[in-house]
Amino acid sequence: MKGKVTVPTIRDMKARGEKIIMLTAYDTPFARILDEVGVDILLVGDSVGSVVAGYPNTLPVTIDEMIYHTKAVIRGTKRALVVIDMPFMSYQTSIEDAKRNAGHMIKHSGAEAVKLEGGAKMKEAIKAIVDIDIPVMGHIGLTPQSIHQMGGYKVQGKIQQQRQKILEDALAVEEAGAFSLVLECIPSELAQEITEKLSIPTIGIGAGVHCDGQVLVIHDLLGLLGDFRPKFVKSYVDLRSIISQAVEQYIKEVKEGVFPSEQHSFHL
Ligand code: KIV
């Protein structure tokens, strides 16, 4: 195991030109595996709502649900930096709410940093949280908590006016004191420009190869979510089929009286 990953480690990785590896994690067994193989940042994303809880989007996720999943991730993690997502309505209502909820989530989850969505309009909230020494990861471009405003999960920054706004958002997040920035679903060229302009690392999802790091939802990487796959997702294995085959085999063996065998049985 290399040394513990901290917020300064992540900053240094950009300076060294070393790619940052981030994945989502929502429970102890996954956290343990991802941590052991060397993932740098485990993000307990509010994507837990759609990926694990079956909600239609991330909006229903609560602070308590985020804390529950993050505590599970912390129990499986030794090396990676653990970041907790601030759910919808936990930071948008006021600077006081943003500070209080960020503090509450760090205190009760064990995470080492928070992530929140939004650029220039979240500048003061980010600054206030950083001022109480809680590291903040920003998130701009496609921000899933704004799904209704955006009219769906669409690539952002395709027109010049939008590109200028996204660039301004990136600069605002850096100025506010965030230690890193997620760029979601924006053109590769724009992500490259932002990555070159910022001194803090950018972590891309659907933002091309030029970002300082990459993030994917672990269930997407493992092919657990079925047939719908956004363009930016690469599934490295079809775990859904493997799980189906294993469970089908279990059903067959139980029906046929093959399982449990002698090997799996106790005797007086
Ligand atoms: O909630 C999440 O998992 C995220 C990542 C996709 C960046 O925000």
Question: b vs e for 207-239, b when ≥16 Cβ sit within 10 Å of the residue's Cβ?
Answer: bbebbbbbbbbbbbbbbbbeeeeeebbebeeee
Of the candidates 239, 180, 181, 234, the residue with the CA atom closest to the CA atom of residue 206: 234
Percent of the chain with pLDDT over 90: 97
Q: Is the CB of 24 under 6 A from ligand 1?
A: yes
Contacts for 237 with CB less than 8 Å, ≥ 6 apart: 222, 223
> For 92-102, what is each residue's pLDDT tens digit?
999 999 999 99
Please report, as a single letter, which amino acid is at residue 261: S
Q: How far apart are CA 108 and CA 240, in angstroms?
A: 33
Q: Is 184 a catalytic residue?
A: yes
Give the pLDDT confidence score for residue 135 in this predicted structure.
98
**What are the backbone dihedrals phi and psi of residue 36, each rounded to the nearest 5 degrees, phi first?**
-65, -35
Q: Is the CB of 206 under 6 A from ligand 1?
A: no
Which tokens hold the place of 237? 């294995």
> For 187-225, what is each residue's pLDDT tens digit?
999 999 999 999 999 999 999 999 999 999 999 999 998
**What's the mean pLDDT when you consider all of the chain?**
97
Distance between Cα 263 and ligand 1 center (Å): 44
> What single-letter DSSP state applies at residue 145?
G
Give the pLDDT confidence score for residue 226 in this predicted structure.
80
The answer on pLDDT for 79 being more than 80 is yes
> For 125-166, what is each residue's pLDDT tens digit?
999 999 999 999 999 999 999 999 999 999 999 999 999 999
- Residues 43, 69: contact at Cβ < 8 Å? no
Give the pLDDT confidence score for residue 227 in this predicted structure.
76
Q: Which atom of ligand 1 is nearest to the CA of 51?
A: 3
Structural domains present in the chain: 7-237 (3.20.20.60), 239-268 (no CATH)
CA-nearest residue, atom 5 of ligand 1: 45
List the catalytic residue out of 184, 193, 253, 262.
184
The answer on pLDDT for 228 being more than 90 is no
- Torsional sign, CA 145, 151, 142, 53: positive
Band (29; pLDDT cuts 50, 70, 90)? very high
Q: Which atom of ligand 1 is nearest to the CA of 216?
A: 6
